Amino acid sequence: MRCYLMRGGHIAAVVLLIPGKDEALIDQGKLIFHERHADAFDGFEVWDGVRRLHVHPTEGPNSS
């Protein structure tokens, strides 16, 4: 379980998440992003293995 912090459409940092339910993983990702936003990240993605759980900011209608 990972949170990818994005800058300019590329992964700029990776934070390992504490295992939990999907909602808890997404909440962890949101907290990490807001705590580190001063580092000029423009988005984040939360992944559980090969499953993408959340993208911020939201992409198009096909995003999760």
Q: First vs last Cα of the chain: how many Å apart?
A: 16
- pTM, rounded to two decimals: 0.86
13-16 long-range contacts, CB within 8 A, separation 24+: 13/39, 13/41
53 pairs with which residues across the strands? none
Residue 39: per-residue pLDDT: 76
Whether the per-residue pLDDT at 59 is higher than 70: the answer is: no
Q: pLDDT per residue over 18-47, tens digit each?
A: 999 999 999 999 999 999 887 789 999 999
**CA Rg value for the chain:** 11
